[in-house]
Chains A and B, each alone.
Chain A
Amino acid sequence: MTQRRAVTKLQAIALLAIVVVIALGGLYYYMALMPTKAPPREILVGSPNPLTGPASKHGIEMRNAIALAAEEWNAKGGVYVKEFGRRLPIRVIFKDTESSRDTAVKVMTELVTVDKVDVVIGNFGSAIVFADQVVAMEHKVPYITSGASSVLLTRRTDIDVSYYFNTATHTELYPFYTMPFLDEAFRPAINKKFGFPETRNLRLAILYQDSPYGKGVLEGCKLYISKFKPKIEIVEAIPFKLGETDFRPHLLRIKESKPDFVYMAAFIPEQTAALTQARRDVGLNTLFQSVICNDDEDFYKGVGQWGDYQFQETTGTTSVPVLKGPTRENGERFVKAYRAKYGKLPAQMATHIYQTFNVVMKAIERAGTLDKRAIRDALEGIELRGEEYANALVCPFEGDVFRFTKDHLVNMRIAVIQMRWNEAKGENELGIVWPDEYKTAELEIPPWYAPGA
């Protein structure tokens, strides 16, 4: 009787390989022959936001505003999509980026490959969007943010960013409002008060965060000055590290440069610390202007009496009367609805993402389909005017028209607030001092103000 030979190692490997190939083939066959999905019956919006981690304050506000916007659209029956011949409800899938780039990439991958969302709306922070943008762009999913101010996001050339749109007030936009404010309103005011000649240049110091955001603001100011030649000269530009809490050495340097005004590109805790330490600690008796991202109830409370007479950029709706114009009524309604639902005023991040959501839904209506290419094209060509503009937006845009620029940015209008400390109430009162069309208060130069050399 012959003994049966055991299977050799080589045979075992070959057998295993055959099994694997058959299994994979079977899987492919099964997936290929699977009945095609039923046509979508809802609009799937992916919304990655930092709900935990250092940026969670902004992420939670953005989530709240998006939830409110979706709720309002669904209350009307959803968005009319011609392809389906009816209104489709909206379902928003929120994901937490944990304020981390790695997690943002992971959740974006889930949204576009597992959840198969039609569009992505949300997210905060240029560095994070820079990372997760890659995934959305690879899968050609329209991705719209309002919480990332770097212009590099729509201009990067290492990937195709044609499906990315940015509705934030971006770093190149700020100086186009700040510089005219300084040149047209602030400079004449101090010239008048101190008897300076009209030809005198305003001495500007810039204190900026050492980040793409801060550097972008500095570059924007330089660009504006070289292009439009206002009577403004930059006498000092000092960077500081993100998260800085002790600004005294920086402020002493600025004091030495004898500025008339300090423009600061910082986040709320940094801005608060610098304003507090400027007058109180180093005796820098000058005025500051803070960039738009600090237009927030927390900032006005936190800075307390050190905010007196200081300036803040705004697009309206946060803590000041909504800016005049066609969007005012909708803005006031939004503030009321947000406050009723969440018990606080909407911060700038909430405001901007809310109107962004409305714009995207308008684009879907215009596209008449949920095809991603068609939605992208509709966003690129969207122009909201008249009633549509007034009903969808809550902040005014240049020319009272909403449209994207060639590089997928927007031109939101910016006004300047001056804070006045009310000792009796223990809070800062806000008045818009520039431009004239939005004015609610007169610009005041404080008695303690000391101009530069």
Chain B
Amino acid sequence: MIHEVLLWGLYAASVYMLLSVGLNMIFGVMKIVNFAHGELMILGAYITFSIATSLSLNPYLAIPISALFTAILGVAVERLCFRPILGTGKLNEILVGLALTYVFQNFAITAWGPNLRSLGSPYAALSILIGPVSLPFDYLMGIGITAAALLALFAFLRTESGLSFRGTSQDSEAAMLMGVRIGRVFALSFLIGSALAAVAGSLWAISGQMFNPFTGAHLGVRAFVVVILGGLGSIPGAMIASLILGLVETSVAFAFGGVWREAAAFLALTAVLILRPMGVFGGGPRYA
């Protein structure tokens, strides 16, 4: 039974990973917390749903298109909503983020209605035996796509564009003086973060979850816990924190009941913040 608990903890971690890495990347570069990140995730799931159902397409094939649309939306959000208020105070950034959650939720209601939606997988009945555990094929796909997306992200961060990205996150003024077009870097952080959110939302929905325009808020909160736990701005921190959170939540829910799950997540957060106030990998942006 213990190996099953650990396995599901690891799977839960992979769901948090994509969402929190995107959120943390935006913070690392722009130093803003996008409270509407969970809503971007659900918009991604909706777009995948629309493409897959209208074209009778395998939902996995719809994910790249959905990621593209959501990435464009993310860039628009950055340009039109966050860029104009950048540096005007944290309160403005928080209010814009919260306002965007309402805008996205109501947009989704208008476009798709308030009813619950599901994304059926063509591989729903397929499971693969790994040791003593039978793992659904959709979960393996999810883990594989998550790993591929994160590897691609790390590869990007080692390119010249990635270097300007890392430079901007360390010191945007210095990067600007060195000739980095930080406006472009800001847009790029939203582009990648939003695309990752769309992939996360689509994979989560394909795994057998139903969603409505308000489902994103719940997962968005978990992503914030991960980001703070791992350290604001640190991508490896977000990945480690996702693992910690996934394992702690699943083990506690198994041992003491589901109502302790969130309490355990916040207790872990409190413990880490007492021992390392900047988070596990805190203390500045870190991308590798």
Interface residues of A (CB under 8 A from B): 52-54, 56-57, 60, 210, 238-241, 243-250, 252-253, 256, 268-269, 272-273, 276-277, 280-283, 298-299, 301-302, 304-306
Contacts and interface: CB of A to CB of B under 8 A. Distances in A.
A256 B116 CA distance: 32
Contacts of A304: 118, 120, 124
A269 B115 contact: no
B81 interface: no
B250 A246 contact: yes
Contacts of B258: 210, 238-241, 244, 247, 249-250
17 contacts: A56-B114, A246-B249, A249-B251, A249-B254, A249-B261, A252-B4, A252-B8, A268-B210, A269-B211, A269-B215, A272-B118, A272-B209, A272-B210, A283-B134, A304-B118, A304-B120, A306-B124
Nearest to A273: B209
A269 B5 contact: no
Nearest to B211: A269
Nearest to A246: B12
A272 B114 CA distance: 17
A57 B134 contact: no
B259 A240 contact: yes
A253 B5 CA distance: 10
- Say whether chain A's binding surface is mostly helix, strand, loop, or mixed: helix
B245 to A, nearest CB: 12
Most chain A Cβ neighbours within 10 Å, of B120, B214, B253, B259 = B253
Interface of B: 1, 4-5, 8, 12, 106, 109, 114-118, 120, 124-125, 127, 134, 136, 139, 204, 208-212, 214-215, 218-219, 249-251, 253-254, 257-259, 261-262
A298 B250 contact: no
B111 to A, nearest CB: 14
Nearest to B135: A281
Contacts of A52: 106, 109
Contacts of B204: 245
A238 B125 CA distance: 27
Contacts of A253: 254, 257
| Residue of A241, A256, A268 with most partner-chain B CB within 10 A | A241
A210 B262 CA distance: 13
A304 B259 CA distance: 27
B211 A252 contact: no
A273 B218 CA distance: 15
A245 B209 contact: yes
B4 A306 contact: no
A210 B204 CA distance: 24
Contacts of B1: 252, 256
Nearest to A250: B258
A301 B218 contact: no
Contacts of A302: 116-118, 210
Given A244-B261, A269-B210, A302-B118, 20 more contacts: A53-B214, A54-B212, A57-B114, A60-B114, A245-B204, A245-B218, A245-B219, A250-B254, A252-B1, A253-B257, A268-B116, A272-B118, A273-B209, A280-B124, A280-B136, A280-B208, A281-B136, A282-B8, A298-B115, A306-B208
A283 B118 CA distance: 22
A243 to B, nearest CB: 5
Nearest to A99: B214
A295 to B, nearest CB: 14
A272 B208 contact: yes
A434 B212 CA distance: 32
Contact of A210 (B209, B218, B254, B259): B259
Given A249-B254, A280-B127, A305-B124, A269 B116 contact: yes
A269 B114 contact: no
